[in-house]
């Protein structure tokens, strides 16, 4: 299930706060004159395309449907994409070559391969119950049985089943419940959520594009940056490798990796500044009920027993900012103009 801007932004704030809990200068309090950092462009009355919203919803539905693809046996001849279950015996110089034999092996026509081009090509067009003989030459460096290396082998292939992948064309409540881990249990409820979340996301992208960023506060950027590094260091530690080794697995140099993290931190700060500036101009201040609602939702998301347990790790400033993010996004959604 794709996560949209509300959860991503709130999560970024909270993870940074919880990771650095108890450290000096660790809270991204943003106690600034926002006009010194950002110049807001148009944020009320932003146009959003209904077709763009629907396209994202359709893509999300297609993803769920694809994840529910299942195999159905067919009597037809195997074609690209079909899965073939087969067994195989082999002889070399008239004697059994057991090292080449297979039982209930799987091959997908058009994407799988074998050690022998002739065998790979043989599966296309075969049907369940069909047997075919294929003559191949065993590789000179074959180690399964050195006595047959470099010799001609006759492979007898028998297909036991051919299956074709079927993707459902209708989304069901059960599919939605599984995809969302029970957060949404009906297609109707999930669509209501998606429409709002996608609309907010598209509007927010436009608001950010309309905003001019003058500079950014170093303190908050460093909090995010240090949190990102701590997260990757934790991942590297879990695999028993250094962070430099982890970076190399991503195909990046250490310098480019850290530069990317720095740019991500700055981008997140710019989003925070935009959100807080709009909240200030529109006097969007969360009341106790809103704060409690957000705390309960975050506690459930992060696996805390309850909101009180969450607040032992999360400061009130960050909670208030998280609530403001939700309020700002709702405000922008309500004031957006839907166009075809």
- Residue 18 CA to residue 24 CA, distance in Å, equals 13
Average pLDDT of the residues of the chain: 92
Q: Hey, is 262 helix, strand or coil?
A: helix
Residue 303: pLDDT band (50, 70, 90) is: confident
Neighbouring-strand partners of residue 96: 91
- Residue 1 DSSP class: -
What sections of the chain are H helices per DSSP?
Answer: 5-19, 50-67, 117-122, 173-179, 187-210, 218-238, 243-249, 254-281, 288-302, 307-311, 316-335
Indicate where the chain has its CATH 3.10.50.40 domain(s): 71-166
Place of tokens 């809990």: 21
Q: Which CATH class is domain 5-67+171-339?
A: mainly alpha
For residue 92, give the H/E element and its range. Answer: strand 83-92
- pTM equals 0.79
- Residue 98 CA to residue 288 CA, distance in Å, equals 74
pLDDT digits (tens, 9 = 90+) for 115-128: 999 999 999 999 99
Residue 3: pLDDT band (50, 70, 90) is: low
pLDDT digits (tens, 9 = 90+) for 105-159: 999 999 999 999 999 999 999 999 999 999 999 999 999 999 999 999 999 999 9
Q: How is residue 234 written in tokens? A: 């934790």
Half-sphere exposure of 162 (CA within 13 A, CB side): 21
What values do phi and psi take at 222, rounded to 5? -70, -35
Indicate where the chain has its CATH 1.10.3120.10 domain(s): 5-67+171-339
- Residue 153 DSSP class: E
- Residue 90 CA to residue 95 CA, distance in Å, equals 8
Separation in Å, CA 106 to CA 97, 103, 167, 279: 20, 9, 20, 58
pLDDT digits (tens, 9 = 90+) for 40-88: 999 999 999 999 999 999 999 999 999 999 999 999 999 999 999 999 9
Long-range pairs for 24-29: beta carbons < 8 A, 24 or more residues apart: 25/219, 26/223, 27/223, 27/315, 27/317, 27/318, 28/219, 28/220, 28/223, 28/224, 28/272, 28/317, 28/318, 28/321, 29/317
| Domain covering 71-166 assigned CATH 3.10.50.40 in the classification | yes
- Residue 136 CA to residue 124 CA, distance in Å, equals 17
Answer yes or no: are the C-beta atoms of 17 and 311 closer than 8 Å.
Answer: no
SS (H, E, C) 197-236: HHHHHHHHHHHHHHCEECCCCHHHHHHHHHHHHHHHHHHH
Would you state the pLDDT for residue 5?
Answer: 56
Answer yes or no: are the C-beta atoms of 214 and 36 closer than 8 Å.
Answer: yes
Nearest C-alpha neighbor of 147 from the set 155, 138, 156: 138
């Amino acid at each position: 299930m794709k996560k949209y801007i509300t959860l991503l932004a709130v999560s970024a704030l909270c993870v940074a706060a919880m990771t650095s809990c108890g450290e000096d200068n660790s809270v991204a309090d943003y106690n600034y004159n926002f006009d010194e950092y950002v110049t807001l462009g148009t944020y009320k009355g932003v146009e959003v395309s209904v077709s763009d919203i629907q396209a994202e919803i359709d893509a999300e539905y297609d993803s769920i449907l694809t994840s529910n693809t299942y195999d159905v046996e067919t009597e037809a001849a195997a074609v690209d994409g079909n899965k073939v279950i087969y067994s195989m015996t082999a002889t070399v110089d008239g004697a059994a070559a057991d090292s080449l034999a297979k039982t209930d092996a799987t091959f997908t026509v058009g994407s799988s391969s074998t050690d022998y081009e002739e065998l790979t090509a043989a599966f296309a067009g075969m049907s369940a119950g069909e047997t075919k003989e294929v003559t191949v030459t065993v590789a000179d460096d074959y180690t399964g049985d050195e006595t047959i290396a470099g010799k001609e082998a006759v492979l007898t292939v028998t297909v036991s089943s051919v299956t074709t992948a079927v993707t459902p064309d209708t989304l069901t409540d059960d599919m939605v419940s599984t995809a969302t881990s029970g957060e949404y249990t009906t297609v109707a409820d999930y669509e209501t959520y998606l429409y709002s979340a996608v609309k907010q996301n598209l509007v927010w992208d436009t608001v950010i594009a309309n905003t001019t960023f003058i500079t950014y506060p170093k303190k908050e950027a460093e909090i995010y940056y240090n949190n990102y590094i701590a997260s990757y260091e934790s991942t590297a530690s879990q695999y028993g490798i250094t962070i430099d080794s982890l970076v190399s697995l991503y195909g990046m140099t250490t310098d480019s990796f850290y530069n990317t993290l720095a740019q991500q931190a700055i981008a997140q700060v710019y989003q925070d500044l935009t959100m807080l500036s709009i909240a200030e101009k529109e006097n969007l201040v969360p009341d106790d009920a809103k704060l409690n609602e957000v705390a309960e939702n975050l506690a459930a998301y992060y696996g805390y027993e309850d909101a009180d347990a969450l607040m032992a790790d999360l400061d009130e400033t960050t909670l208030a900012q998280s609530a403001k993010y939700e309020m700002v996004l709702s405000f922008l959604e309500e004031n957006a103009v839907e166009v075809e």
